[in-house]
Amino acid sequence: MKKYYSTVVQELGVQVHAFKEARMLILFNENAPKELREYCVLHCGNKLEDTVRAGDVFCLGKEEYRIVFVGSEVQKNLRDLGHITLRFNGNEEGESLEGSLYLESKGVADVKVGDEIAIYRP
């Protein structure tokens, strides 16, 4: 597999785990606006070298998820801001929120500081 995106978790906002019940996480680079920080998984080293596509593999720590749908603004937002919403619902309802990356429907990993976030092309 070819890794084309990599970053490292630096901080977890105090409200991050509240979103796990809704099967979603919000990523933002370390420059996230103050009013959003408490809701985000904050990361640094945001390096994107290819286009995110359905069928690729998203890794959160040791957990892997197949990407099932890529919102139209994911590429730009991830590259420029490190900011996307991860939805762990398999896109079962056919949503297409622009800034969301839809992952296969399985449990949300327990993310922690120091974890790598990566995207691979199989």
Torsion of the alpha carbons at 50, 51, 56 and 58, rounded to the nearest 10: 80
**Which candidate in 28, 43, 109, 119 is catalytic?**
43
Q: How far is CA 23 from the centre of its chain?
A: 12
Q: How far is CA 62 from the centre of its chain?
A: 14
* 83 catalytically annotated: no
Region class of 82: left (phi > 0), else alpha (psi between -120 and 50), else beta: left
**Strand boundaries in 1-122, DSSP class E:** 2-12, 24-29, 40-48, 57-60, 63-70, 84-87, 100-103, 116-121
Active site members: 43
